[in-house]
Structure 1
Amino acid sequence: MRLALLVPGGSGQLGRDLVDAVPPGTEVVAPSSAELDLTATGAVVSAVGALAAQAAESGAFPVVLNAAAYTAVDAAETDEARAFAVNADGPRVLAAACASHRVPLVQVSTDYVFPGDATRPYEVDDALGPRSAYGRTKAAGEDAVLGSGASSWVVRTSWVYGRSGSNFVKTMRRLASERDQLSVVDDQLGSPTWSADLAAGLLELAGAIAEGCGPAARILHCTGAGEVSWYGFARAVFEEIGADPERVKPCTTEQYPRPAPRPSYSVLSNESWCAAGLSPLRGWREALHAYFAD
Structure 2
Amino acid sequence: MKILITGRHGQVSRELQLALASSAELLVLGQEQLDLADSANIRKQVEALRPDLIINAAAHTAVDQAESEPELAFAINARAPGLLAEAAAQLAVPLIHYSTDYVFDGSKGEPYNEADQTAPLGVYGQSKLAGEEAICAVGGQHLILRTSWVYSLHGKNFLLTMQRLLQEREELRVVADQIGAPTWAGTIAQATAKLIEHWRAGRPGPWGTYHLSGQGETSWFGFAEAIAAQLRLQGKPCARLAAIPSSAYPTPAQRPLNSRLDCSRLQRDWNIRLPDWHAALLECLASPS
Task: Establish whether TM, by shorter chain, passes 0.5.
Answer: yes
Contact 2:15 2:189 in 1 (8 A): yes
2:281 to 269, 288, 293: 288
| 1:277 matched to 2:270 | yes
Contact 2:142 2:207 in 1 (8 A): no
Give the match for residue 98 of structure 1: 88
Matches within 5 A, 1:8-27: 8-22=6-20, 24-27=22-25
Q: How does 1:1-294 map to 2 (within 5 A)?
A: 3-22=1-20, 24-52=22-50, 62-242=52-232, 247-294=240-287
Q: What's the CA shift for 1:41?
A: 2.3
Instruction: After TM superposition, give the deviation of residue 246 of structure 1 in Å.
Output: 7.1
Distance 2:273 2:239 in 1: 32
Q: What one-letter code is carried by the residue in structure 1 that aligns with 2:4?
A: L
Q: Per-residue CA shift, 1:160-202, capped at 9, x if unaligned?
A: 0012110000000000121011000000001100001110111
Q: Which 4+ stretches in 1 moved above 4 angstroms?
A: 243-246
- 201-210 vs 268-277, greater mean Cα deviation: 201-210
* 1:118–1:266 CA contact under 8 A, matched in 2: no
Question: Which amino acid is 1:213 matched to?
Answer: R
Does the residue aligned with 2:3 lie in a helix, a strand or coil? strand
Paired with 2:56 and 2:196, the residues of 1 have a C-alpha distance of 12
Structure 2 counterpart of 1:39, which letter? A
Q: Are the equivalent residues in 2 in contact too, given 1:117–1:265 (CA < 8 A)?
A: yes
Secondary structure of 1:289 counterpart: helix
Provide the secondary structure at the position in 2 that maps to 1:260: coil
* Aligned CA distance change for structure 1 residues 120 and 245 (closer, same or farther; 3 Å): farther
In the alignment, the residues of structure 2 paired with residue 222 and residue 23 of structure 1 have an alpha-carbon distance, to the nearest angstrom, of 22
The 2-side partners of 1:168 and 1:81 are apart by 26
Aligned length: 284
Distance 1:181 1:288 in 2: 23
Superposition deviation, residue 142 in structure 1: 0.1
- TM-score, normalisation: structure 2: 0.94
Q: 1:24/1:290 Cα in 2 relative to 1: closer, same or farther (>3 Å)?
A: same
Residue 133 of structure 2 aligns to which amino acid in structure 1? D
Cα drift, residue 253 of structure 1: 0.3
Aligned residues with identical type, % of pairs: 38
Deviations 1:250-270 (A, max 9, x none): 000001111100110010001
Structure 1, unaligned runs of 5 or more: 56-61
Q: Please state whether the residue corresponding to 1:155 is helix, strand or coil.
A: strand
Structure 2: tracts of 5 or more residues without a match? none
Per-residue Cα deviation, 1:234-258 (whole angstroms, up to 9, x for no partner): 0100111115777111000001111
Aligned to 1:59: none
TM-score for the superposition, normalised by structure 1: 0.93
